[in-house]
Structure 1
């Protein structure tokens, strides 16, 4: 089963999938090890991790694509990649979709923000016109169909940030048109109450994604409530990044005070990174290993 097919299968289930978001290969690997069915490469977290800068359109397409490849190489669970605005016009959107598919992503998110984009729960967001927004999704869907005809596949996650500037009604109308154009998953960013979340899910067809930013605009509801509202995916874009940063800052302060921090056991750390798997697999090639350890073998 392809990654895209695996994601479709997950979305066919009557559940709301809890989706911790990754930012690099290691965080994605931990998500898979803990039994989660899918993950999302958070642009906010990836920008912070890779270039140490805020998610304000500073990462290039090539940098984002490289991060996607690293993640898909490290884990087999379906990955949704953050394609931002598509990095240009409609033709750039098509290239972005094709690149993410070739890199192994199960889905790519394309949004209607004005470039350079901003994190969905930060000030200063603006969206492009309806026509430009629709062209982006139309181009993404067109490229998806080209990929399918050639034996490839990817799902299109269409996002609108219109709620911030133009209200919930405009956001829902845009998302409804995204669905008409063929988007596979719909994402209305930053509804501000449970009532708004219910209106989104009641008004729109197909799978919907909720984006839960701790301290953000959207209520942080239990998974059972999100399922009852009608969401298929609950994304948590900053939970792992915030936890990791808090742990690192605490450890640094502890070490500065000449104390020993509370750390993951070295044995578990090695195992989770993959040392045990590496050594177990390498045992299959004993003759090669002996050749490197026995000088006479080279003669």
Structure 2
């Protein structure tokens, strides 16, 4: 089960904090086995893997929270969870916060897009709500949490809608409402990253989205620009899909693709805790 750990404690252990994004329970367990200090859960991967649909607001809170619950139950890592826009008004924001708080997550990301929200790096049009609406959602989440060290991370998508100045202004206003960290989505250059880094003193998140709008840099380069948390939203998914494509193309020809050494079947069952479950069977069956 996920281990609640305050965001400040995670950043004290590792800065920048590297967060691969899990799309299901198996990927979360593999992130844990690889030695990462924490993991993130994003709507893009969950929706794509569970439904085959794009991240365009097509999945409900019930669908996504069920997936998050599965992941949280499968890993001992602290989790930072994408809460989209809170799935409605301030009442829905509070329900979202409390649902995830009961699961033991360490941080919740809330964004300011108009519903239905859209992937921050996709080539689609998007809108943001009036800043006062987003401020009220952040304030509602801050007031509703029963665990005061559960971090509220404010995300703004205003960069691609209103420009960088507006995005920075929104960031300051969200922090004034009690947000513990900030995520300015989709800056398009190193210069913009540098300006964001200079503008804030709270922990800052950057999306290292391969093929996205934001420059993909090394962790040290992001740290020097002022970013404390690095999300890798599609790194696992892209490689999984690429491997599947090559493997299936070869299999269609009646061959096995040469992808280098494969894990032993026992490694797969170990990730699934096969031995622990079989011990229960041996003791009690």
Alpha-carbon offset, residue 13 of structure 1: 4.7
Instruction: Give 2:254's match in structure 1, choosing from 234, 258, 261.
Output: 258
Match of 1:170 in 2: 166
Task: Report the 3-state secondary structure (helix = DSSP H, G, I; strand = E; otherwise coil) of the residue aligned with 2:5.
Answer: helix
SS of residue matched to 2:222: helix
> If each structure's helix is expressed as a fraction of its own residues, which one has the higher value?
1
The CA RMSD measured in Å over matched residues stands at 1.6
In structure 1, the partner of 2:181 is 185
Residue-by-residue CA offset, 1:204-247 (whole Å, 9 max, x unaligned): 12111101110111000011101111111100000111111111
Q: 1:273 to 1:14 in 2, by over 3 A?
A: closer
1:96-107 correspondence to structure 2 within 5 Å: 96-107=96-107
Distance 2:143 2:11 in 1: 22
- Counterpart Cα distance in 2 of 1:124 and 1:3: 37
The equivalent residue for 2:230 is: 234
SS in 1 for 2:21: strand
Hey, what does 2:213 align to over in structure 1?
217
Q: Which has the larger radius of gyration?
A: 1
**Cα 1:200/1:193, change in 2 over 3 Å:** same
Distance 2:149 2:279 in 1: 34
Task: Check the 8 A contact 1:65/1:103 in 2, yes or no.
Answer: no
Mapping for residues 25-40 of structure 1, pairs under 5 Å:
25-40=25-40
| Residue 154 to residue 169, structure 1, CA distance change in 2 (3 Å) | same
Matched with 1:11 is 11
Partner of 1:294: none
Inter-partner Cα distance in structure 1 for 2:165 and 2:199: 10
- Shift of the alpha carbon at 1:54? 0.3
Contact kept in structure 1, 2:7 and 2:150, CA below 8 Å = no
Q: Output the TM-score relative to the length of structure 1.
A: 0.89
Q: Does the residue aligned with 2:211 lie in a helix, a strand or coil?
A: coil
CA distance in 2, matches of 1:270, 1:3: 23
1 CA distance for matches of 2:32 and 2:114?
34
Stretches of structure 2 lacking an aligned partner (at least 5 in a row) = none
TM-score by length of 2: 0.93
1:1-299 aligned at under 5 Å gives the runs 3-13=3-13, 15-122=15-122, 123-144=124-145, 147-148=146-147, 154-261=150-257, 262=259, 263-280=262-279, 282=281, 285=283, 288-289=284-285
Aligned length: 280
